[in-house]
Amino acid sequence: MCLFMYVRKSLRRCYLSGVPGRCRNPRSRMTLSLANRQILLGITGGIAAYKSAELVRRLRDSGATVRVIMTPAATEFITPLTLQALSGNPVHTALLDPEAEAGMGHIELARWADLLLVAPASADFMARLAQGQGDDLLATVCLATRAPVCLAPAMNQAMWRNSATQANADILRQRGITLWGPAEGAQACGDTGPGRMLEVPELLALLASRFDTGLLAGQRVLITAGPTREAIDPVRYISNHSSGKMGFALAQACADAGAITTLVAGPVSLPTPARVTRIDVTSALEMHEAVMSRAGETDIVIAAAAVADFRPASVAADKIKKTAADTMTIELVKNPDIVASVTALPTAPFTVGFAAETQDVAGHALDKLQRKRLDMIIANDVGRRDIGFGSDDNAVTVYWPGGSAGFDKMVKQPLAQRLLEKLVELQRSKKQHH
């Protein structure tokens, strides 16, 4: 209880003080960047584990969903029950627990996370992670996840300074793991020096900054996503398997990058990303209208929707009845090509298309790039079952007039961020050449 009060007080001090580089303007941007995020918090054994309880509360206040994994040593410092109550989710503690695995297994947890933060990260945990060990649930999930992994080390100053710990820290950094802290100061053991876990507001600000790239600050982006549905009669339609996940991930990444983002979505069952204006449409004609009425005031258009190429020439007013004939014919007419209508505008925005192909991916993508006068096309092989439509992963090749780049299989959200970086680079070089 006393410890919590101490943390509260120090939080208030920190919020009010505006210490440069520490927790400046902590609330407003943070709440935005952390909304709807799925944060997996790993807690290892150390006295700083008490701060993790406050961290969970603040993350939830910021709109994030939090799941907690505790190592056995962590449960000696703070109870799983406390973390369960604060996170609103069951706490995961054991790797070989059939009941927990039946709920959300370790691989699902690893996949669920948008970011994995281990706070506090003990010297022992860092050593095990540096060795690539999978000897408990948290270490295993760190190995299995493709989400960014960040550590907030906390330990006695001599342990932190020890060359073994420093070597482990270097190995972890080389492998792309981010280390936040430790801070210097008075330690619970009475020592003074580096080894204190960063304070909760500092960790929140760092977490928020991971999602907030600022790459597209002030730009207006319009994204199409999902399938379209072309009505045959009041109960039937023609459509496709697009889940909308890639377009939604791109919309989230654009909003994170500071863009004013509008998402024109076909019928999909996905939550609207934070800070994104969503316009729901059903048919290609509706999508065309929604896009063309806005494209003139847009800097970037990303056409991720799988638009039906054709629609029934007429929609039957009543349900079509079965007849004795073995065949039936529906006359189809071509839908407008939305992305090609955008690039035909007198002052066309920077326009990105997608090519979902099952064969000769490169050939078709390059043909579309030229024919639709796109600035960039993102091509994927939807014939592969492990990626593409409906999957959480994707692997793509990007083509632009004069070049191409491959992006290996990864979760759609980090992939979306990487694709945006490429987009911004190409947009800048296009501006320079005009």
User: Which residues are designated catalytic?
Assistant: 189
Phi, psi (rounded to 5 degrees) for 90: -60, 145
Identity of residue 294: R
SS3 230: strand
Residues that bind ligand C5P in the complex, under the rule CB under 6 A: 224, 284, 303, 305, 307, 309, 335, 337-339, 353-355, 368
- Secondary structure element (H or E) that encloses residue 414, with its range: helix 412-433
Identity of residue 350: F
**Both tokens of residue 99?**
């009941």
CA atoms within 13 A on the CB side of 54: 23
Q: How far apart are CA 405 and CA 376, in angstroms?
A: 11
Q: How far apart are CA 314 and CA 286, in angstroms?
A: 16
Beta strands in 274-413 (DSSP E): 276-280, 300-303, 310-312, 332-334, 350-357, 376-381, 393-400, 403-411
**In sequence order, what are the residues at sequence separation of 6 or more whose Cβ sits closer than 8 angstroms to the Cβ of residue 151?**
117, 118, 119, 121, 126, 129, 172, 177, 178, 179, 180
Phi, psi (rounded to 5 degrees) for 19: -60, 125
Tell me the closest approach of the beta carbon of residue 355 to ligand C5P, in angstroms: 6
Tell me the closest approach of the beta carbon of residue 353 to ligand C5P, in angstroms: 3
> For residues 121 and 154, is the Cβ–Cβ distance under 8 A?
yes
> For residues 375 and 351, is the Cβ–Cβ distance under 8 A?
yes
- Secondary structure element (H or E) that encloses residue 179, with its range: strand 178-179
Give the closest residue to 234 by CA, choosing from 152, 316, 306, 313. 316
Give the closest residue to 343 by CA, choosing from 373, 380, 378, 322. 373
- Secondary structure element (H or E) that encloses residue 221, with its range: strand 220-225
Helix axes 80-87, 49-61, angle to 10 degrees: 10
Q: How far apart are CA 125 and CA 138, in angstroms?
A: 9
| Minimum CB distance to ligand C5P smaller for 78 or for 281 | 281
How many helices and strands in the chain, by DSSP H and E?
16, 19
- DSSP H helical segments within 284-411, as ranges? 284-295, 338-343, 361-371
